[in-house]
Structure 1
Amino acid sequence: MSTVVFDRSLTDDLMAFVSASPSPYHAVRAAAGRLERAGFTAVEETAPWPSLPGGHYLIRGGALIAWFIPEGAEASTPFRITGAHTDSPNLRVKPHPDAGRAGWKQVAVEIYGGVPRNTWLDRDLGLAGRISLLDGTSTLVDIDRPLLRVPQLAVHLHRDVNQGLVLDPQQHMTPIWGLGGPDDEGLIAYVAKEAGVDPDAVAGWDLMTYDLQPPAYIGRDGELMAAPRLDDLLGAHSAVMGMIAASQGAPSHIPVLALFDHEEVGSESDTGAGGPLLGNVLDRLIAVRGGNAEDRLRALAATVCVSIDVGHAVHPNYVEKHEPGHHPMPNGGPMLKVNVNQRYATDGAGRAAFVAACQRAGVPSQVFVSNNAMPCGTTIGPITAARLGIHVIDVGVAILSMHSARELCGSDDPYLLAAALAAFQGE
């Protein structure tokens, strides 16, 4: 059995991973660095792939797929997949970013995903992502100092704010970044100079704001951890660490790691779970080892995927919002996410398989089900199950403040989840 050795160092590493991942592009770079240190090597999609045993990974934009071929694996050997996503709700820079009113320089942004808008007010924001150049290359950018701010309206000008705050996404969520007018030096010229790039060479960009407050242990005994982007960098990090642990053993399946982009907006992209990227990788892994259509169908028929995303811990101030018989708690271990309307992909057999993996790892588990009166979110799980026709189990970690600019989880949960994933993939 493969496990992850636990002390707080794994949670410390999650904190470092989150801090190094202000955008999906930075997240896959951080994941790749950990894989490389564990012996995985990069491959290019346009190049021939090796068929020998070992670990490899590829990166496309904000997505990363990694795999480990064990000794003796046949073309029909099934896969054990762990999937998560790299994107988080935030504010993203528009194609014409330079704006301003009443003597203020502002940046035009578009809201990405399900953002609780009030959580982005009065925060020191950095700017990160990538800029694309005329020669076809891209450069990662991370301005990790206070650059932007979405200012709250003073209570003196909004006396009934505590009776209800309504923020118009167009009018009220535009950040400021200085004094002057939109005709001054533009944002992209500034970002290009920060990246050491000629501003005239910049032809496109994928830039997003992020909260600069670093992750931190909180609580009397540090039993809780607050950080931005836990949805779903916690899942991505645990999947990476579980994959590394599984590759150190002798798994009977082929472990695969799939980190997707664009989950928060529906997954319908070339780097999202709704696209063909994962299926193409699995097909190539079968074909490069001499497999045919029959081998592919045999392999997929026995393949299992764990879809990892955070879930709701019971909120002490809003207990009535939760299902009375299911109150997941931080540090209670990974939770199986169940929804009979297939917003999550877990069924009874999948629940049994993952509980068995938790027992092999020596970690507890719990279950999340939504209150019947509350709409249920979804994950990459049902999409992956329908697209590939494979068995999928949805799991997660219980957190508070999901989609906020800053979220909260248990300090032990990163280890508990990674240990369960290592046991699942290393069987």
Structure 2
Amino acid sequence: MPSAIQHAQDLLDYIDASPSPWHAVQSTATTLNTYGFEELFEGDAWALEQGKHYYVKRDDSSIIAFTTGSKSLAEHGFNLIGAHTDSPGLRVKPKPDNQKGAFSRIGVEVYGGPILATFTDRDLSLAGRVHVLQNGELSSRLIKFKNPFLRLPNLAIHMNPKVNTDGLKLNKQTELPLLLGVANDELKKQPDMAELIANELGIKQSDISAWELHAYDTQGGSLYGLNDEFYANSQLDNLASCHAALMALVSDASLHSSNFNVCAFFDHEEIGSNSHKGADGSFLPDVLERIADTLQLSSEDYKRTLSNSFLISADMAHAYQPNFPSAYEPDHKVLVNHGPVVKVNANIRYASNSASQARFIQLCKQADVPYQTYSHRTDLGCGSTIGPITSAQLGINTVDVGCPMWAMHSIRESAGVQDHGYMTRVFSQFFS
């Protein structure tokens, strides 16, 4: 395994190449291809071979990759890690062009629960996918505008004198459209969205059928701290977990293991997972059942397989921020660079139970990795993950874990270099 700093830099490169869920799946597939994984398609018949490695995508923003080991699947089950490819942010509306006087703006809709104030005064651009109809054939194209051409300027303190006492409050309908440009006698009206897309993809505007785009911060990821012990980027929640799981899956320990190892990265976690490609959909159950069918397992043996399986739900955790001590449960503060976090909630907002906690702690000890335990303040609402959903769907015992991070759902999040290496080591131990 590379050094902790090299591993963190690889994560930052992975995120920089993945400004949307569709790009994240493309980045993941590129890595899998490098390690000899074969792509499967849901519409085809599958003929799996023992000892080979495969992946399958659903709608290009969710992906499941797996290895086929020599162990009895019914007796040993699947070793699964689940994470998600989406992050909170601003999605472009279907009819986004918004002309207000001399100003050209792009209309956006809030996706999930971002910290909206962090999107102000950033060098924003757009990324996502576009569906194109040419010669009677529909196709999907990824698009990433590299240059920053959008901005959400803050209101000066002279017009908003209470901003530092009351906080920045933005009306989601009227105050979030992104500024594209200003027209005057010398400057022509700014191009509309269809024109921008057509120019970027080198197609005609009439070829464009539909798009799914969201705003992203063009500032790349960076290491920081006196000894580069921290890193910052967008989408750490939850591409950092995807990257750790992916690197564990393609490690020598995993590829030469006799286990059936599975990574499942879902879209739509940030909005409830209730979609055909979300964790509450049929994607993972379909894939696991097809693996069992291809291996000619009986219905009873498939049920045994699920009973003997174990799922690690990997999603980032809230690191203690000492400027806000009252926001945390005082006996469960987790610290950056102090190890992976086991997340526990009595109301099953996290899927962890004592048995699944004990198994993950055992993995940490085997990998010589420190660990921490997190519980949310009882008087604050607790977020959730794909863990409870997937565990309930499949009947698989599950633990919820994550690396500690600051500023979750900000456009610029940060975390610890050592923790990312720790988590990857534990995942590699799980897959070995």
Fold similarity call, TM over 0.5? yes
SS for the counterpart of 1:58 is strand
Alignment of 1:135-150 (within 5 A): 135-150=137-152
Alignment-derived partner of residue 256 in structure 2: 249
Alignment-derived partner of residue 242 in structure 2: 236
1:251-290 CA-partner distances (Å, limit 9, x unpaired): 3x31000000000000011111010000000000000111
SS for the counterpart of 1:169 is coil
Q: 1:102 Cα deviation (Å)? A: 2.7
Q: 1:415 Cα deviation (Å)? A: 1.0
Q: 1:41 Cα deviation (Å)? A: 1.2
Letter of the structure 2 residue corresponding to residue 57 of structure 1: Y
How far, CA to CA, are the matches of 2:359 and 2:351 in structure 1?
Answer: 13
How far, CA to CA, are the matches of 1:367 and 1:72 in structure 2?
Answer: 32
Q: Paired residue for 1:203, among 209, 223, 241? A: 209
Q: Paired residue for 1:224, among 222, 226, 230? A: 230
Letter of the structure 1 residue corresponding to residue 157 of structure 2: V
Q: Is the 8 A contact 1:97 1:108 kept in 2?
A: yes
Q: Is the 8 A contact 1:339 1:346 kept in 2?
A: yes
Alignment of 1:79-228 (within 5 A): 79-134=78-133, 135-164=137-166, 165-180=168-183, 185-228=191-234
Q: Is the 8 A contact 1:76 1:299 kept in 2?
A: yes
2:21 is aligned with 1:24 = yes
Letter of the structure 2 residue corresponding to residue 299 of structure 1: T
2:303 is aligned with 1:297 = yes
Alignment-derived partner of residue 353 in structure 1: 359
Alignment of 1:255-404 (within 5 A): 255-404=261-410
How far, CA to CA, are the matches of 1:136 and 1:247 in structure 2?
Answer: 38
Q: Is the 8 A contact 1:80 1:255 kept in 2?
A: yes
User: RMSD over aligned Cα, in angstroms?
Assistant: 1.5
Q: 1:172 Cα deviation (Å)? A: 1.0
Q: 1:362 Cα deviation (Å)? A: 1.3
Change (3 A) 1:122 1:184: closer
Gaps of 5+ in 1: none
Q: 1:184 Cα deviation (Å)? A: 5.5
How far, CA to CA, are the matches of 1:380 and 1:203 in structure 2?
Answer: 32
SS for the counterpart of 1:146 is coil
Change (3 A) 1:76 1:133: farther
Q: 1:73 Cα deviation (Å)? A: 4.4
2:423 is aligned with 1:417 = yes
How far, CA to CA, are the matches of 2:2 and 2:227 in structure 1?
Answer: 21
Alignment of 1:39-58 (within 5 A): 39-53=36-50, 54-58=52-56
Q: Is the 8 A contact 1:106 1:174 kept in 2?
A: yes
Change (3 A) 1:383 1:101: same
Letter of the structure 2 residue corresponding to residue 404 of structure 1: S
Letter of the structure 2 residue corresponding to residue 391 of structure 1: N
Alignment-derived partner of residue 63 in structure 1: 62
Structure 1 stretch displaced more, 212-221 or 158-167: 158-167
Alignment-derived partner of residue 31 in structure 2: 34
Q: 1:425 Cα deviation (Å)? A: 2.0
Of all paired residues, the percent bearing the same amino acid is 37
Change (3 A) 1:38 1:351: same
TM-score by length of 1: 0.96
Letter of the structure 1 residue corresponding to residue 65 of structure 2: A
How far, CA to CA, are the matches of 2:421 and 2:13 in structure 1?
Answer: 15
How far, CA to CA, are the matches of 2:292 and 2:86 in structure 1?
Answer: 29
Q: Is the 8 A contact 1:75 1:286 kept in 2?
A: no
SS for the counterpart of 1:14 is helix
How far, CA to CA, are the matches of 2:255 and 2:391 in structure 1?
Answer: 28
How far, CA to CA, are the matches of 2:406 and 2:4 in structure 1?
Answer: 23
Q: 1:361 Cα deviation (Å)? A: 1.2
Q: Is the 8 A contact 2:181 2:190 kept in 1?
A: no
Letter of the structure 2 residue corresponding to residue 414 of structure 1: H
How far, CA to CA, are the matches of 2:363 and 2:383 in structure 1?
Answer: 25
How far, CA to CA, are the matches of 1:232 and 1:264 in structure 2?
Answer: 10
Q: 1:5 Cα deviation (Å)? A: 4.6
Q: Is the 8 A contact 1:76 1:286 kept in 2?
A: no
Q: Is the 8 A contact 1:99 1:107 kept in 2?
A: yes
Q: Is the 8 A contact 2:53 2:67 kept in 1?
A: yes
Q: 1:152 Cα deviation (Å)? A: 0.7
Q: 1:249 Cα deviation (Å)? A: 2.8
How far, CA to CA, are the matches of 2:243 and 2:218 in structure 1?
Answer: 20
1:83-135 CA-partner distances (Å, limit 9, x unpaired): 00000011100010100213110001001010111100010001100001232
SS for the counterpart of 1:145 is coil
Q: 1:188 Cα deviation (Å)? A: 2.1
Q: Is the 8 A contact 1:75 1:287 kept in 2?
A: no
Q: How many residues align?
A: 422
Change (3 A) 1:75 1:192: farther
Letter of the structure 2 residue corresponding to residue 326 of structure 1: H
Letter of the structure 2 residue corresponding to residue 59 of structure 1: K
1:286-313 CA-partner distances (Å, limit 9, x unpaired): 0011112111101001111000000100
